[in-house]
Amino acid sequence: MNFYREGAEVLDKLDAKKGSIQGNLNAIAEKNRKRTAALVIETLKYKSALQNIIASTPLLTQEKRLITSSNLALVLVHDLLFARGGIQASDGPIKQAVLRHQTRLKAELVKLKIKKGVQDNEGLAEKGDDRASHIPRYVRVNTNVWTLDGAIAHFEAAGFTSIPSSDLVPEAKQFSVDPHISHVLCFNPSVPFATSPLLAEGKIILQDKASCFPAYILVPPDSGGWETRKVVDATAAPGNKTSALSALMGNKGKITAFERDSKRFKTLQSMLKKARCQNVTPLNKDFLGVDPGDKIFEGVTHILLDPSCSGSGIVNRMDYLLEAGEEEAGVDQARLLKLGSFQLKMIKHAMKIKSATRITYSTCSIHKEENEFVVYDALISEEAAQAGFTLAPREEVLPAWPRRGQSEGTALSQELAASLIRCVPGEDRTNGFFVACFVKSSPLVNKQEGKRPREEDHADEVVGGTPRKMRKAKKRKVKQG
């Protein structure tokens, strides 16, 4: 019965807006976590149907001494009606209390299905955001542990058919290799990976395709020479991008992974262990709290920056809630501006690390305030000017990805916007996402000579990645504001 109590407690905390689903599940002892996570997610999926059914019976009033909360009723009735094998607990007074009402509960389930015009229980599940149904279930093959060929052979032997990549979501027993990220496989969202042993073995990582972009852009596949390289992941937990970086570097070289939150740091540690990342040193430290001249950063050339954001790009499919990096409440203008200024501070801090030559900045937000505006402000900053940072050209930033940054309504030229990546949920088969890549010298500055143009010769061209006119306009705006 503890299992049900634990699940009900997580639901109580979510009702009280105390933390995210992921955060609350992480607080549960690891041996019970998988089972409780499945119970919580499944109950949430059927929450409104279950509430409806329970409210039509006298369960809560007649059994209030034993069924002490409505969430305890939800998890128990969920299993009674929807789980194979019913309530998974030995006979005891609480189970008996629910069973006393089972005939009525089952009759109410039938009535509800008729009322809703659905054939089966699945028809009662919350659909979440409709855009989520256009997003395949992405599975990243962790090459620290497994190979792409090994994974393909495994899934084929398990009865899945490999199909060519297309714009359609694969059918239930099909999969395809993603055309943009070579170690990512696309499945139908209904394939139940959350309880797969491949996850526990670290062979696969459930990670939205767009979330793989930053590591892929920072450390292009097959780029080699990582044995002696030093990389920083400035905002690492839960560790999806850190483990992707680790794999792209062939588990070689050194990645220092910062995470300031102590609870999330524990998740990061366990993720890195599971994904067998031998080249990562996790640090429970605030990235902004470490001086850019500190010896931790000595020789660091590449930095992945994926700071906290509004999360406005994450579309609501129940199981995606489990993957969200960090949930932020509300996305009002004041909140966006506050987030934007924090994100800019993080980029500027990274730019001050002398040896850094390449920095990716990413968010799972759809708002310009956290994306193009932040990039523009970073480009015109003193830090960028002093270190010589500008944007990497499109050719270096996943050129085959069609949707680029927005110049309209922003101060970025079309050329600069084209070197940014955007993903739109519902249109791009991914969650909403944004990536920029800052580099110390870029062909955008002066393609012919590989050096900056003389200012007097090119009064309106790019300086420090930003047209001079815009820089002036921006300065005027800042002064006026």
Ligand X SMILES: C[S@@+](CC[C@H](N)C(=O)[O-])C[C@H]1O[C@@H](n2cnc3c(N)ncnc32)[C@H](O)[C@@H]1O
Q: Which residues bind ligand X (CB under 6 A)?
A: 211, 235-241, 258-261, 264, 286-288, 306-308, 325-326
Strand-strand pairing, 204-206 and 137-141: antiparallel
Neighbours of 154 (CB within 10 A): 15
Catalytic residues: 364
DSSP string computed for 125-155? S----GGGGGS-EEEEE-TTT--HHHHHHHH
Count how many Cα atoms sit within 13 Å of the Cα of residue 320 in the half-sphere of its side chain. 27
Q: Which residues are annotated as a binding site for S-adenosyl-L-methionine?
A: 259, 286, 306
Type of residue at 154? H
Angle in degrees, CA 323, 284, 27, rounded to 5: 45
Minimum gap (Å) between residue 52 Cβ and ligand X? 36
Task: Give the residue with the Cβ less far from ligand X, 8 or 275.
Answer: 275
Closest to 372 (Cα-Cα) out of 434, 312, 321: 434
Minimum gap (Å) between residue 141 Cβ and ligand X? 17
Q: Which residues are annotated as a binding site?
A: 259, 286, 306
Minimum gap (Å) between residue 279 Cβ and ligand X? 16
Type of residue at 398? L
Task: Give the residue with the Cβ less far from ligand X, 266 or 474.
Answer: 266
Q: Which tokens is 447 given?
A: 């393609």
Minimum gap (Å) between residue 325 Cβ and ligand X? 3
Task: Give the residue with the Cβ less far from ligand X, 260 or 358.
Answer: 260
d(CA 315, CA 135): 9
Beta bridge partners, 257, equal 233, 282
Task: Give the residue with the Cβ less far from ligand X, 43 or 310.
Answer: 310
Minimum gap (Å) between residue 24 Cβ and ligand X? 15
Type of residue at 409? G
| SS3 label, residue 119 | coil
The H-or-E segment that residue 270 falls in is helix 262-274
Minimum gap (Å) between residue 135 Cβ and ligand X? 17
**Strand spans (E) along 312-468:** 358-363, 390-391, 421-423, 433-439, 462-463, 466-467
Task: Give the residue with the Cβ less far from ligand X, 238 or 464.
Answer: 238
d(CA 94, CA 69): 12
Task: Give the residue with the Cβ less far from ligand X, 237 or 384.
Answer: 237
Closest to 255 (Cα-Cα) out of 289, 219, 220: 219
CB 306 within 8 A of CB 374: no
Type of residue at 216? Y
Beta bridge partners, 363, equal 434
Minimum gap (Å) between residue 435 Cβ and ligand X? 12
Task: Give the residue with the Cβ less far from ligand X, 302 or 394.
Answer: 302
